[in-house]
Amino acid sequence: MRNLISMRRWEYGPSSANSYGCWKAAFLTLAVCVVVPGQSLHGQQANSATSLFPLDSSAGLEVVNGKAEVATYRERHCVHLVAIPGRSDPEDNEVVMALVPGVDFKNGSIEADIAGSPFPGSRADARGFIGINFRSQEHGARTESIYLRPTNGRADDQLRRNHSVQYESIPEFPWFRLRKENPGVYESYTDLDAGAWTKMKIVVSGTKAQLYVNGSDQPCLIVNDLKLGETHGQIALWAHWSTDAYFSNLSIRGER
- H or E element in which residue 160 lies: helix 158-161
Q: Which pLDDT tens digit goes with each residue over 140-152?
A: 999 999 999 999 9
At 241, which amino acid appears?
Answer: W
Question: Is residue 143 a contact partner of residue 170, using CB atoms and an 8 Å limit?
Answer: yes
pLDDT in tens, the chain (256 residues): 434 344 454 564 434 444 444 333 333 333 333 333 333 344 444 444 899 999 999 999 999 999 999 999 999 999 999 988 776 555 556 899 999 999 999 999 999 999 999 988 877 778 999 999 999 999 999 999 999 999 999 999 999 999 999 999 999 999 999 999 999 999 999 999 999 999 999 999 999 999 999 999 999 999 999 999 999 999 999 999 889 999 999 999 998 6
98 vs 239: CA distance, rounded Å: 9
CA terminus-to-terminus distance, the chain: 34
CA triple 210-213-215, angle to 5 deg: 105
Who contacts 242 (Cβ-Cβ below 8 Å, separation ≥6)? 83, 87, 90, 118, 119, 122, 126, 128, 129
How distant, in Å, are the alpha carbons of 62, 64, 109, 163 from that of 2? Answer: 11, 9, 30, 34
pLDDT (tens digit, 9 = 90+) per residue, 152-178?
999 999 999 999 999 999 999 999 999
Q: Report yes or no: 239 and 118 within 8 Å, Cβ to Cβ.
A: no
Q: Is the pTM of this model over 0.85?
A: no
**Preceding peptide of 171 cis, ω within 30°:** yes
* Percentage above 90 pLDDT, the chain: 71
Specify whether the CB–CB gap between 141 and 170 falls below 8 A.
Answer: yes
Q: Hey, where are the domains in the chain? A: 2-254
C-alpha span between 175 and 10 (Å, rounded): 10
Contact 116, 129 (CB under 8 A): yes
Nearest 5°: phi and psi at 73?
-130, 125
DSSP state, 233? B
Ramachandran bin of 61, using left for φ above 0, alpha for ψ from -120 to 50, beta for the remaining angles? beta
Architecture of domain 2-254 in this structure: Sandwich (2.60)
